[in-house]
Structures are given as structure tokens and as C-alpha cells.
Amino acid sequence: MTFVKPAFRHPDAPLNELGRSRKDYEGGLSTLCAGCGHDSVSAAIIDACFELNIEPHKVAKLSGIGCSSKTPAYFLSGSHSFNSVHGRMPSVATGANLANRDLIYIGISGDGDTASIGLGQFAHVVRRNLNMTYIVENNGCYGLTKGQDSATMDTGSPNKKGDINMYSPIDLARLAIEIGATFVGRSFSGDKQQLIPLIKAAISHRGFALLDVVSPCVTFNNHSESTKSYEYMRGANTDMPVDFVPMRQEITATYDSGATCEVCMHDGSVVRLYKQDNDYDIEDRQSALEATSHYAKEGKILTGLLYIQRDSEELHDVLDTARRPLNSMNEQQLCPGPRFLDSINAGLR
Amino acid sequence: MQAKQSVNDFVIKFANVNGTGSASANSMFAKAIFRMGIPVSPRNIFPSNIQGMPTWYEVRVSQDGYLGRRGGIDIMVCVNPQSIKRDVAEVESGGYFVYDSTKPLDLRLIRDDVNYFGIPFTDICLREYTDARQRLLFKNVIYVGALSALLNIDFNVLKDLVADQFKGKEKLITPNIYALELGYQYAVTHFDCPIGIHLERGHKLAKHIEDFDNILMDGNTAAALGAVYAGATVAAWYPITPSTSVVDAFDKYCRRLRIDPGTGKKNYAIIQAEDELSALGMVIGANWNGARAFTATSGPGVSLMSEFLGLAYFAEVPTVLIDVQRAGPSTGMPTRTQQSDVLMAAYASHGDTKHVLLFPATPAECFSMTVEAFDLAERLQTPIIIMSDLDLGMNEWMSPPLEFDADFKYDRGKVLSAADLDNMEERFGRYKDVDGDGIPYRTYPGVHPDKGAYFTRGTSRDEYAAYTEDGDEYVRNMDRLLRKFETAKSLVPEPKIKQSEMETRYGAVFFGTTASPAYEAIEILEKEGIDLDTMRIRSFPFNHEVEQFIKEHDRIFVIEQNRDGQMRRLMLNETSVPAKEKLIPILEYNGLPVTARKIAGMIRNYVTHGNVTPLTRRTAAEEITA
């Protein structure tokens, strides 16, 4: 394994509308295990940001603790990043977002970080509909502490030692739909075709967007009986292909139009879904919950955009905060000055 | 029988049932005395309960301007039969006992050294009002009316206060004044008014109050105003007594002062978080992103915030935390005061951490120190913890008026702008000690398209914020943090030192709400020939003056409201003077604000007997209930 990232890039590498190449969206060399699903997710984030013509410095990356939470170092090195404490990324993201609503917030977490130690903060950031993209790199185990079961591990699924998990799993996507998330997608780190447009749609969504991405742990949870392995996912994944058309781009049909469904998002971009037999209304919570549980009963995992509420009030709308970022205000806007204090003093005499 | 005689100098206590509206009547009583130009300090002694439990309100009236608790009760106003036994017992010999005489008093409650004033409050209410709620509420107003006759409170002042209180609800003014008159009339008809202990306007100028340009305000409201003035835009919090009113007041002032005149939108954001961990996480996130943000909590909240405090310390994110201390450990006595978070706050979190602490002693300092805390947090890029307590935060204190300099500019600390980054020749290193003061430069997210981005983390990193497990890099960074803490010594508020008139080798050290009763105790002792220099500590880390004070004295009484002498331990730990034998702990930790008499007693005991025996004598009240 090499420890130096090659600096060479093809001179004819394509540029996006900002004149930046994909390289401008990369980060440091990953220190994760070779073949880790998380690296594919990082690559998909790089592609999504490059294709969306996002200025890297307008992104803030946030994470908790764990293998997944290390990954913000491996993409968008031109962005500020905050690797916080275990399970507490949502609160740091909330504060950061309140301070400056003009940045794009991408949170990276894992199944331990979100479904166990951070379940409380996760639930509340969903409830508040914070405008951010929240990606869970879900591998059903604790990688950094060497393979313990996590709360998303399916019942009956054995770990590497052969112990069968007897506890019931937390399905983060279903939980998020239940408690008010306005964008919930599920994907597989090995399915770039689906993951990149989903990330693009999540970033374009105004409000809280969860992407629960099954991302196999090659070291501790990639054996044939694991429900979070590459092999299992390739067999059980019932994917609902997704395409994302940014605002201003012409929508051209690639599939038979009868099988597609186009969802126009808040900013004018369009998510195009290629429906198969899973014909349900993704703008209806109940319908989304029923569809996911229907596939789960059959031992399958439904991936794609599971639920979307296109127009919702994100946290700043609810709080009715100023359009201008709070961190850009100075004494003039914020300090009432000594004269008001005189009136306060007078009222206390 | 001996009846106490005094003018403008007494302690009166009200025994009420909580949730019956007594608080606003009691507060009107205290404010009336304040408006007569007589120094007053009221204190709520309340249960952790919403309705039906005994609650007390103790008012110290002191012409000399002593604002701490004195100790002892001269007048008891008893409107709660539940606590009457202990309330009678608590009155000092020669004192007065005002009670509801609708039912005859149990003969066992009659002491021959106390003067009884029976007023049939319940009867009067039954006669005057038909509505049950009115009967309950006006009883409070009636006893205030009776006291105005007994104690010689200016009735017009009371009338003005009623008018102020019901501004906007004018139809309530007349019935309230009528209720005051009912009490007043009953008292003047049945008793010789005023009684031996009473008030006189303009008696003489208060010794400790230079002019009477004072305000009456609680510390939590003052701290909240400080946050408004300091430009805090984000507040995240979780409800906990006794800190809740900080964010309540911040909200109230923001609704008035922070609405954009053009758009009607809010130039602030307040989030009631799911717990204290999240509250501090939000504060850290907002500060990291360049907004001024704070939280307010109490001991249990600080415990939960410890992990994040360590992150803010190590990742160097400005953070302002107001700790309104209460009696611990665990849930402890949630509605009682203490100064028992000192050590936890100083060292909160695992690993080698130290935090900057500020110790306000008055509402004016709650205001000014909160303003200062935001500057310090950004200047030092570290958490600043304001150590208030329940007594200061939730009680109304006479205080000099709040002041704010019209030319005051926020010190946002070492923050590089896009232009700064463009003009820089060297590579930006987030954790590089460029100026030698241990404080590095930071950038806000989104500042520049190509420069200034860095990775904030709680893991070890090099000067350029890159992850490292290199021991030398780690040590360099930890040592720089220590250097930064040294820099803090020159920035934090200096202690207030007062030399005794007589030369002495004895000193007393105290902080926060212990200051008022301590200053009074020092004067009591001075009259007995025990002279003490005093030092009121206002911040941690301790600077040179603190060390000097310890060096210059042979014996120093460290007066504080906790069991373990936490400030004393911090002084031993964090100063270079060997002082273990010198520092004598003077401690009170029963949850009620320490009294001047108790402090004086403990120091006197030490000085005369060479040791300190806490006064564990049981009060008469405890004997009766036992």
C-alpha cells in the first residue's frame, strides 16, 4: 500500500463550470483498510460536489468519532472540517449552521456514532430539520475498536467471531422517516450509479437529508453470512435507480418515460426515479414505511430515494432568523448601546 | 418583656406556601423599602416543588448597606401553618411574630420572649372575597399592608409599586390597593404602630452605599443582558434550576432588541437542546463558525458538558458557559446555593485540561463579566466559565447601575480574513504560535476559496492541524496550551485587595456571593481587635497579585460555600507559594447563603483557640421538631 498520494493528474481532466477539476475536490490519502466501503462513499461525495459545481470552501464537513468520522479528511481538503466527539456531531452541526446559514453542511457518521451513542442527538437533529446532508456509513459493526456489533446489525447476523446478534436492529432510514425527516435515502457504497445522484439530491434538498449508506467493513463484517457485506448487498439490494438533474440543466429521457417519476425539488432541480415494481408514493411517509418494511420481510433491502418532503420549513425558517448569517453581524447590529442600559437601570430603581 | 428596638436594621422572614402568589407580594415589600432609600437584600429560600410546600423569603434591611445574610430572625411573618413550629423557634429573643389569628395559636407555640401580633388574614379574606383564588392571592397583599403600618413603610411607595406592577392591567390596581388598606387599617386599629423595629426614610447615609443610585436586580438577568451586549447571537441550553432564567431573560431582551427593523427577522437564535451535551455542542459549533454563542447551566449540566469542554480546550474553540451553582453532588439540593463546582469547572474533562473561570459577586459584575467573557473566549480561543450561584443568580441584589462604554469594540481575537490570508507569505498553520503568547490564529469556515481551510479535531495534530501521533508534536502542542494559560493571567480580572487599617499578618480570601457577608464579618472582627486584609478573587488562573497576597500573610482564611475548601485547594494547586499550613478553610455548605455572624464566629474561634471548629450547635428550631 502506498502512503504518498500521486500529485499527477491528467492535463486533459475535465473541468466543471467553476473551472475546477475533480482533483480540487479530493482530500488526503485515506488511512482506512484497503477495500473499505467508506472510501467509495468519499469518492462519491467528491464526484457529487464536482458535478454540482460547489465551491469547496463553501462546504463545512462535520463528523463524530469512528472509522466513518475520519473520512472528512479524505475529501474536499479545501473545506473547513470539524471532527467532534463521539455521537455529538449533530449538535456541533446545528450550532455551526445557526452561525452561518450560507454554507453547505455535510455530516459524516457511522452506525455506532449515530445509532448508539448518538441516537439522541440524531433524533433531535432530524426533528429540527436542520439544513444539512447527513451520511451514515453503515457497516453494522465498530471498526476502530475491532469489530463489536453495532445497533444496526441485523438480528441473526453473525459477527466475525461467529456470535449471533440477538438484539433487534435499528433501521435509521425508517426511524428518520417516522420522526419527521424531510429527505431519506438509502444506498450501497458499491453502487456509484445510485449513490452519486442521491448525494447530489441530498445536498440540493433544503432541510435535513439522511443517506443511510450500507458500506461494508472488509476487515470485520464482510463474511458471507453478514447482512452488511458486499456479497449480501449485491444479492439483496432492490435498488430503485436514481438520476439527479440540477437546476438549469435540460431533462432528457434515458429510460422509458412510463417507468420514471420526476420530483422537482425546492431549488428547481429534479430527482428522477426509475420505478420498478416498487410502486409507491415517495412523498407519503406511511407509504415509504410500508415499502421498506415490505422488502425487509422478504430479506431484501430497498435502496434509492425512500422519502422526500419537498417543501418544508428548515430550522432557520422555524426560528425566523435573519437571512444574513449571524456570524457576519457586528456591534452595530448586535449591541444596544449605553442609552438602552440607562432605561434598564431606570426600570430597576 | 424585652422588645427589640432598631431603625432600618433588621431581618424579617416570611413563611409561605409555595404556589400561592406570595412571591410577588414579598418582592413588593422588599422593593418598597428599597424605594424608601434604605438598603435591602431579599432572598428566596424555596423548595424544589411547584405548589404546596413551605417556602420562605428572608429580607435583610441594613442601613449600613450590608447585603449578605446576617444570621438570626427579628421578625417572622407566618402564613403557613405547616412550618409554624420551626418558624416560631427561629425568632430571636425580643423579636416579633406576625401570624394568622383566624384560629387561636397552639399554646405550645407561645414563647414568653417573643412579641405576637395576630391578624385574622383568613377571616378578612373570607369576609371580603367570594372567589377562592382571590382569597388566596389577596391574603399576601393584606399582610404587606399590615406590615406597612407595623414597620412604617411609606404607603404611597406601595401604591406606586402596585401601579407599576399592573401597568397594562389597570383594573387590578384598585383591588390591590384596597387589599393593602385592609391590612394597614387592621394593624393601626389593633396595635401601636410602628413597632420597636421599624423603618425611617433618610435616617442616615448608608455606610457601604456611596450614594443611593443603586438598582435592584438578579444576577441571571444581568448575565443575560451581558450576553446581549456582548453580541451573542446563539444560545443553546437545557432547562435546569437555578440557571433557567438566564436564557429566559436573554430571550426576553432579544425579542425587544434583536429584531431587524427592516425585515422583522431575528438577529439571534435560541435552541432548547435535548440535553446539556447537545447544548454545549451547539455553542461550540456556532463559535467555531464565528458567531458568539453561550449556554447557561448548573453543576449537573457541567458534568455532562465535560467531554465537550475538553474538546473546546484542546481544539481551541471559544466557548462561554454560565454556571449558576447549586448544592451538589448529584441532584443534591437543587434549590439551594453553593460554590461547589470550583474544582470541577477548573479542570473539567479528561486529560490535562484547565479552564478560565470568572467569579462575579454582584449583578453589575454578572453583566460586565459576561461581556468580558466573550472577548476573553475569542482572545484566548478557549472555554470561559462564569461561576455564578443560586443566591446571586436568582435573588435580587442591590447593585451599582449597569454600565457600558459607548466606544466598546468587541475583541474577536486572532482571526484571519481573506485579505490577511492573501497577504500572508508563510503557510497558514492553525496551531502555530506565531506571536509567542501561545495563542494561534484561526479562520472562519468559508473565508477564502483556496486558503485557510483546516481540520478541527480533538485528536492530536501538528501545527498545521494535520493528525499526528508523534509524541514530540503532542508535547509541543500541550506546552503551547500551557503558555496560553499563562497569557490568560494577564487578561483576566485582577483580584480586589483591601488592606486593613491596622497592620496585620492575617488575611481573608473569598469570592462571589461569599464576599458580602465576609466583608461584614471582617468589620465585626475588626471591632474585636482582629484585623484582616482581604482579597476577593475574581478569576482563575491566579495572577501575580494572588501569589503575592499569599506570600505576605502568615494565616489566610479562605471563606467559601462548599465542604471541601475547593478554592483553597485550587490555590494550593495553582500557585507557586507553599501555603498548605497558611490557608485555613472557613466553610459553610448547608445550602443557605453563609451569614456574616457565622463567618465571624469561625474566624474568631480560630484566632482565640488556635483552631477552627465549625459551629454545629443545633438551632432551637431543630430541637422543637426533634
pLDDT tens sequence across A296-322: 888 889 999 999 999 999 999 999 999
Question: Cα(B264)–Cα(B250) distance, rounded to whole angstroms?
Answer: 18
Judge: A96–B289 Cβ closer than 8 Å, yes or no.
Answer: yes
B226-261 pLDDT, tens digit per residue, is 999 999 999 999 999 999 999 999 999 999 999 999
Residue A252 within a domain: no
Question: For residues B402 and A78, what is the distance between their CA atoms, to the nearest angstrom?
Answer: 45
Interface of B with A in 594-623 (CB under 8 A): none
Q: How far apart are CA B60 and CA B38, in angstroms?
A: 11
Cell of A7: 500529485
Specify the CATH number of the domain B6-212.
3.40.920.10
Convert B440-460 to b/e letters by CB count within 10 Å (16 or more is b).
bbbbbbbbbbebbbbbbbbeb
Per residue in B338-390, pLDDT (tens digit) is: 999 999 999 999 999 999 999 999 999 999 999 999 999 999 999 999 999 99
DSSP of B324-344: EE-B-STT-BTTS-----HHH
By the 8 A CB rule, do B152 and B200 touch?
Answer: yes
Contacts of A118 in chain B (CB under 8 A): none
Asked if residues A44 and A195 have their Cβ atoms less than 8 Å apart, the reply is yes
Q: Is residue A229 part of a domain?
A: yes
d(CA B393, CA B337): 10
Q: What is the DSSP letter of A23?
A: G
Average pLDDT of the residues in B562-579:
97
Rounded to a whole number, what is the largest CA-CA distance in chain A?
78
User: For chain A, what is the radius of gyration of the CA atoms?
Assistant: 21
Of A94, A99, A344, the CB nearest to B291: A99
Residues of B in contact with A66 (CB under 8 A): none
pLDDT, residue B476, reads: 97
Domain that holds residue A211: 22-240+276-347
Buried b (16+ CB within 10 A) or exposed e, A66-99: bbbbbbbbbbbbbbbbbbbbbbbbbbbbbbbbbb
Residue with grid cell 415517495, as numbered in its chain: A282
Establish whether domains B6-212 and B216-399 are of one fold. Answer: no
Task: Annotate B527-593 with DSSP letters as a single string.
Answer: HTT---EEEE--EES--HHHHHHHHH-SEEEEEESSSS-HHHHHHHHHSSS--TTTEEEEE--SSSP
Judged by phi (left if over 0) then psi (alpha if -120 to 50, else beta), residue A304 lies in: left
The DSSP bridge partners found for residue B56 are B15, B45
Q: Between A and B, how many residue pairs show a Cβ–Cβ distance under 8 A?
A: 224
pLDDT, residue B616, reads 42
Q: How far apart are CA B445 and CA A50, in angstroms?
A: 19
Q: Which of B606, B554, B613, B552 is nearest to B582 (CA)?
A: B554
Picking from B195, B251, B179, the residue whose alpha carbon sits closest to that of residue B28 is B179
The single-letter code of the amino acid at B162 is V
- The phi-psi region of residue B279 (left if phi > 0; otherwise alpha if psi is between -120 and 50; otherwise beta) is alpha
User: How far is residue B82's CA from residue B79's CA, in Å, rounded to a whole number?
Assistant: 9
- Number of domains into which chain A is organized: 1
Nearest-CA neighbor of B188 among B154, B235, B145, B230?
B145
The alpha-helical segments, DSSP class H, found in B316-442 are 342-347, 363-380, 390-394, 418-423
Contact B179, A311 (CB under 8 A): no
Grid coordinates representing B133 are: 383564588
For residue B234, give the nearest of A80, A99, A128 by CB distance.
A99
Q: Is the pLDDT of residue B329 over 60?
A: yes
Instruction: Find residues 453-512 of chain B whose CB sits inside 8 Å of chain A.
Output: 453-459, 466-467
Low pLDDT (below 70) residues in chain A: 1-4, 248, 250-259, 275-279
Does residue A63 sit at the B interface (CB-CB below 8 Å)? no
CA distance B496 to B509: 10
Pairing outcome for strands B533-536 and B496-498: antiparallel
The answer to whether A344 contacts chain B (CB < 8 Å) is: yes
- In A, which residues are within 8 Å of B290 by CB distance? 99-100, 327
For strands B455-457 and B215-218, give the pairing. Answer: unpaired
Task: Report, in this order, helix, strand and coil percent for chain B, each rounded to 5.
Answer: 40, 20, 40
Report d(CA B465, CA B453) in Å as an integer. 10
Query: What is the model's pLDDT at position A241?
Result: 82
What gap in Å lies between CA B297 and CA B276, rounded to an integer? 8
Q: Is residue A106 part of a domain?
A: yes
In-domain check, residue A115: yes
Is A146 part of a structural domain of the chain? yes
The total of other beta-carbon atoms located within 10 Å of residue A261's CB is 15
Q: Determine the pLDDT at residue B202.
A: 72
According to the model, what pLDDT value does residue A55 have? 97
Chain A hits for B228, Cβ within 8 Å: 334-336
For B:255-284, CB contacts with A below 8 A are 257-258, 260, 263, 265-271, 273-275, 277-284
Could you tell me if residue A128 is inside a domain?
yes
User: Which chain B residues touch A98 with a CB distance below 8 Å?
Assistant: 233-234, 269, 271, 282, 285-286, 291, 293
* Structure-block grid coordinates of residue B536: 476577593
CATH number at residue A322: 3.40.50.970
The answer to whether the Cβ–Cβ distance between B449 and A78 falls below 8 Å is yes
Q: pLDDT band at residue B334, thresholds of 50, 70 and 90?
A: very high
* B459 vs A contacts (CB less than 8 Å): 83
B216-399: CATH superfamily:
Thiamin diphosphate (ThDP)-binding fold, Pyr/PP domains (3.40.50.970)
Contact criterion met (CB below 8 Å) for B125 and B138: yes
pLDDT score at A12: 85
Distance from CA of B213 to the nearest CA of A (A): 8
Average pLDDT value over all residues in chain B: 94
Are A214 and A233 contacting, i.e. CB atoms less than 8 angstroms apart? yes
- Asked if the Cβ–Cβ distance from A92 to B263 is below 8 Å, we say no
Cβ atoms of B516 and B67 within 8 Å: the answer is yes
Nearest Cβ partner for A327 among B214, B230, B444: B444
Question: Chain A partners of B364 at a C-beta cutoff of 8 Å?
Answer: none
Domain B496-621 has CATH 3.40.120.10: no
pLDDT at B619 over 50: no
Percent of chain A with pLDDT over 90: 74
Q: For residue A86, tell me if it sits in a domain.
A: yes
| Residue B159: burial class (beta carbons within 10 Å; 0-12, 13-18, 19+) | middle
Instruction: Say if residues B35 and B226 touch (Cβ distance below 8 Å).
Output: no
Task: Report the pLDDT averaged over residues B49-61.
Answer: 94
Q: Which helix (H) or strand (E) covers residue B522, if one does?
A: helix B515-527
Backbone angles phi, psi at B25, to 5 degrees: -65, -45
Mean pLDDT value across residues B34-44: 94
How many whole angstroms separate alpha carbon A338 and alpha carbon B267?
19
Q: Which three cell numbers stand for residue B135?
A: 382569597
Residue at B492: amino acid letter: V
Dump strand ranges (E) for A233-327: 237-239, 242-245, 260-264, 270-274, 301-308
Element containing residue A92 per DSSP (H, E): helix A89-99
> Which cell numbers hold the place of B449?
476559496
Domain membership flag for residue A94 = yes
* B598-618 pLDDT per residue, tens: 999 999 999 988 654 444 444
Residue B118, classed as helix, strand or coil, is strand
Note the pLDDT of residue A161.
Answer: 84
Residue B555, pLDDT score? 95
**What burial letters (b/e) apply to B367-388, b meaning 16+ CB within 10 Å?**
bbbbbbbbbbbbbbbbbbbbbb
Q: What distance lies between CA B224 and its chain's CA centroid?
A: 13
Alpha carbon A303 to its chain centroid, in Å, reads 14
Is the preceding omega at residue B194 within 30 degrees of 0, hence cis? yes
Please check whether residue B467 is in contact with residue B457, taking contact to mean a CB–CB distance below 8 angstroms: yes
Question: Cβ atoms within 10 A of the Cβ of B405, count?
Answer: 9
Domain definitions of chain B by residue range: 6-212, 216-399, 414-493, 496-621
- The pLDDT value recorded for residue A1 is 44
